[in-house]
Amino acid sequence: MSESTAFGPICPLPINDYPQVMMAHGGGGKLMHDLIEKVFVPAFHNPLMDVRHDGAVFGVGNERLAFTTDSYVVKPLFFPGGDIGSLAVTGTVNDLAMCGARPLYLSAGFILEEGMETEKLWRIVQSMSAAADAAGVRLVTGDTKVVDRGKGDEIFINTAGVGVISHGLSICPNSVRPGDAIILSGDIGRHGIAIMAAREGLEFETTIESDCAPLSLPVLDIISSGVEVHCLRDLTRGGLASALVEIAEASGYEINIEEKQIAVREDVQGACEILGFDPMYLANEGRFVAFVPEHQAEMTIDAINSFASDTTATRIGTVSERRSADVTLRSVIGASRIVDMFSGEQLPRIC
C-alpha cells in the first residue's frame, strides 16, 4: 500500500496481512497463533518447540526438567485480587505446573520507566516475594533496565522458570486419547473482568477479584495420587475456548464439551452481558483443564477440590474418537455448535 494512494482508487481486495504488529497479535487468539506459526516457528523450529506446550521439557543427566518464560505488561499494575508482581510469579509457575513439573527457580527481568514511584516498585517486589513463597519457588537471578520516560508503561516484568519432573508421564497434547475426561478446575472469567473493570473504571455491585493463584500444588497432588494425566493447560489469554481449540488441533481429536457444566460466577456473567463478552474467551490466571482417563475423573476432581476454597472443579466434557480436531459444545438448550478460537482481542460491542 503506497502512502499517496491511501484514499485513492478503491481496492476491492481485503486487508490480507497486517504490515505492522497489531494489539491483537498479543491477544492469545488467531492472529497471535499466526504470528507464532509464521514468524517464530520457522526461525527457531526444533523438536522441543514442536510439542507446542506451555514450556519445553528436556532431559539433563538423569533428571527431566521443564523450562518456560513469560512477560507481563498488565495495566493497571494493581487490580482486585493481585498485581503485576503476583501475576509474574504465578504465571510462570503455572506454565511449569502444566508440564507436570515441580517449579524450583525463577529469574526476573525488570524494565522500569524513568519516573516510576519506587514505592510502587517496592509493593510489586513484596508481592512477588509472597507469591514465590506461596508457590514454593525461589527467585534466584534477575536483571534491571530503565527506559526513558514515555517509553514504557511504568514497569514490564519478564520471568523465566525451571522445574523438575519426577514422574514418567508425558503430559502434552499428543498424549490425549479418545475417551479422556476433561476436567475444568473452577469457574472462569474472573481475571479478565477484574482487569477490565479496574482498567476502565467500571463498577459492579460486587468487586470481582482476579483468580490469580499458583496451580503447582493441585497439579502435583493429582499426579502423586496416581492419576495418569495426559494433558494439562492453564487458561490464560484467550480463555477456555482457545486452550481447548489448541489442544484439539495439536492432538487431532475432536473435543466435546457441555455448556451447562462450565461454571461462570453470576457477577462475571453479568459483566459479560453488559460488555458483550463471552466468558469462554476471558483470561484466567488460576484455572486449568486436565485431560485424564475416564475412570480417574472423580479422583482428579477430588484432588483439585481439596486445594480450592471458593470454587469447585467439574467435568466439562470428553475427547471423542473422531479425528476432526474441532471443539464442539452442546448449548444450554441442547443444540450443538463448534467453538472457535477468537481472532483477536474481544472488543466491546455496540448494543
Partner 1 sequence: MKFIDEYRDGVASNKFRKAIERITTREWTLMEVCGGQTHSIVKFGIDELLPEKITLVHGPGCPVCVTPLELIDKAIMIASGPKAIFCSFGDMLRVPGSEQDLLMVKANGGDVRIVYSPLDALKIAQENPNKEVVFFAVGFETTAPANAMAVHQAKKLGIRNFSILVSHVLVPPAIEAVLSSPQNRVQAFLAAGHVCTVMGYTEYEPIAKKYNVPIVVTGFEPVDILQGIYMCVKQLEEGRCEVENQYSRSVQKQGNLSAQELIQQVFTVVPRKWRGVGEIPESGLGLTPEYEEFDAEKRFAVAAYTADEPAECISGLVLQGIKKPNECPAFGTRCTPEHPFGATMVSNEGACAAYYRYRRHAAKQHAA
φ/ψ of residue 301, rounded to 5: -60, -45
Nearer to partner 1, 13 or 43 (CB): 13
What is the closest distance, in whole angstroms, from the C-beta atom of residue 260 to partner 1 in the complex?
Answer: 8
* β-sheet bridge partners, residue 164: 65, 102
For residue 234, the 8-state DSSP code is: E
Nearer to partner 1, 43 or 349 (CB): 349
For residue 125, the 8-state DSSP code is: H
What is the closest distance, in whole angstroms, from the C-beta atom of residue 247 to partner 1 in the complex?
Answer: 18
Q: For binding to partner 1 (CB under 8 A), which residues are involved?
A: 1, 5-7, 10-16, 18, 20-24, 30-31, 34, 200, 202, 260, 266, 269-270, 273, 275-276, 326, 331-338, 340, 343-344, 347-351
* β-sheet bridge partners, residue 139: 106
Nearer to partner 1, 15 or 60 (CB): 15
Strands 181-184 and 138-147 come out as unpaired
On the 0-12 / 13-18 / 19+ scale of CB atoms within 10 A, 63 is exposed
| Residue whose C-alpha cell is 466491546 | 348
Nearer to partner 1, 234 or 254 (CB): 254
What is the closest distance, in whole angstroms, from the C-beta atom of residue 263 to partner 1 in the complex?
Answer: 12
What is the closest distance, in whole angstroms, from the C-beta atom of residue 105 to partner 1 in the complex?
Answer: 37
Cα–Cα distance between 21 and 26 in angstroms, integer?
9
Cβ-Cβ contacts under 8 Å for 53 (sequence gap 6 or more): 98, 99, 172, 173
Cα–Cα distance between 35 and 56 in angstroms, integer?
19
Cβ-Cβ contacts under 8 Å for 87 (sequence gap 6 or more): 72, 74, 212, 285
What is the closest distance, in whole angstroms, from the C-beta atom of residue 23 to partner 1 in the complex?
Answer: 7
Nearer to partner 1, 226 or 334 (CB): 334
Nearer to partner 1, 109 or 344 (CB): 344
What is the closest distance, in whole angstroms, from the C-beta atom of residue 314 to partner 1 in the complex?
Answer: 17
